[in-house]
Amino acid sequence: MRKSKNSQIRGAGTGDWVEERKKMAKNLRDERSDVYRDHRAQLILSKFLSSEIEKLDPNYDPNYGYTYPIVEAIVGDHAATETFLDHLYEIGILKREIFDKIISCPKCNSSGVSIRYCCPYCKSFNVKKSSLIEHIQCGYIDIEDRFKQNVCPRCHNELTKPDVNYRKAGVWCACNDCGKNFDIPVPSHFCRGCKNIFVFEDAVYRDVYSYSLNQNVMKEAGVGYILVAPIREFLQSHGFTVESPGFLKGKSGASHMFDITALKSDLTRHIIVIDLATSAEDVVSEQSIIAMFAKVYDVAPDRACLIAIPKMSENGRKLADLYKIELIEAKNQKEVMKALEAHLSFTELAPAESRPTPLTETSLQ
């Protein structure tokens, strides 16, 4: 008995292994939904969703090495940006592919590093690199400097047509310090920052990535969270105080949660509530309208808006009309913002009192 209990704890059985995998997948999902609520992630992901960024390539900066300026502007600093992108990759929001490899100094971490081709005998980098030339007619081979004015030093004929009467036959190096010749140099590195000289064995050699959005993430209702950031900014730019999620107390005394609440209290008190409904299938069910109406009836905001992605069911449309809930149907972020701009400049919504009292579903016909 004791043994089987142990194996269960260790997850050694096949069933346990499956459970373990499911748990890991769930943890990743939970981590992703945390990230979707992060304002910085919302801003970055909305750039991918609006196609402002298709693929995030790094930029080379002589002082800092590779950077991602768009992300850095949002996240704050260079080191935090790398950690942030790494995390988005690890939890499956971003995909990545290798863009380049970067060599950094092991002493000061600078990537302002040059390559030196050194003499294998005395390790000096004071090496002269030459091409070897073969005069095809007479078979003479020597370094290019010896063929003065393109004349072969052995047969004194002129070298005129490359690859016809002469060709390159490799490279040849001469060490200016010890005088020895060789064809394969030994590489070493020089840090232009701290002047450190180091070899391949000690070099910091790292991957640099391009990032793109994992398409599955959009389906994972991420669209809902990611939409919040641009909507929030839009409403704020119109003078609203925005909460997401927002909580409002109803006439009944109960507190109701909306995906977004926007409040303006200048001349007149103005409250807008917005809910987002996404569907993995093609159509959002009318349940989202019914659920919203229950809250809206109690809270009585000036305007209530439901954003359905990609579209609302036929029944849902009728209900939205009956309940005076403004319905926005949109396939993507761009369409939502366009519709929202049009809706907000629209005439005021009918006062809450004129909304019908809640009906049971059977009494709707």
Query: Could you say which residues in the range 120-179 bind Zn ion, by CB under 5 A?
Result: 121-122, 124, 135, 138, 140, 152, 154-155, 175, 177-178
- Closest contact distance (angstroms) between CB of 110 and Zn ion is 5
Which residues lie closer than 8 Å to 64 by C-beta, 6 or more apart?
78, 111
The sign of the CA dihedral 312, 313, 314, 320 is negative
Which residues lie closer than 8 Å to 334 by C-beta, 6 or more apart?
50
Q: Using CA atoms, how far apart are residues 97 and 208, in angstroms rounded to an integer? A: 8
Q: Using CA atoms, how far apart are residues 65 and 58, in angstroms rounded to an integer? A: 9
135 vs 295, beta carbon nearer Zn ion? 135
335 token code pair: 């369409």
Q: How many residues bind Zn ion (CB under 5 A)?
A: 21
Query: Contact letters (x/-) for Zn ion, 86-125, by CB under 5 A?
Result: -------------------x-xx-x--------x-xx-x-
Q: Using CA atoms, how far apart are residues 279 and 327, in angstroms rounded to an integer? A: 15
H or E element in which residue 9 lies: helix 2-10
The verdict on 193 binding Zn ion (CB under 5 A) reads: yes
Q: How many CA atoms lie within 13 A of 84 on its CB side?
A: 24
136 vs 221, beta carbon nearer Zn ion? 136
Q: Which stretch binds Zn ion (CB under 5 A): 184-192, 235-243, 296-304, 314-322?
A: 184-192
- Closest contact distance (angstroms) between CB of 136 and Zn ion is 9
- Closest contact distance (angstroms) between CB of 86 and Zn ion is 24
Of 182, 170, 171, the residue nearest 124 (C-alpha)? 182
Q: Using CA atoms, how far apart are residues 365 and 357, in angstroms rounded to an integer? A: 15
Determine which residue in the list 80, 194, 254, 294 makes contact with Zn ion, applying CB under 5 A.
194
Determine which residue in the list 191, 203, 271, 325 makes contact with Zn ion, applying CB under 5 A.
191
Q: Using CA atoms, how far apart are residues 235 and 241, in angstroms rounded to an integer? A: 8
193 vs 310, beta carbon nearer Zn ion? 193
20 vs 183, beta carbon nearer Zn ion? 183
146 vs 154, beta carbon nearer Zn ion? 154
- Closest contact distance (angstroms) between CB of 127 and Zn ion is 7
Task: By CB under 5 A, name the binding residues for Zn ion.
Answer: 105, 107-108, 110, 119, 121-122, 124, 135, 138, 140, 152, 154-155, 175, 177-178, 191, 193-194, 196
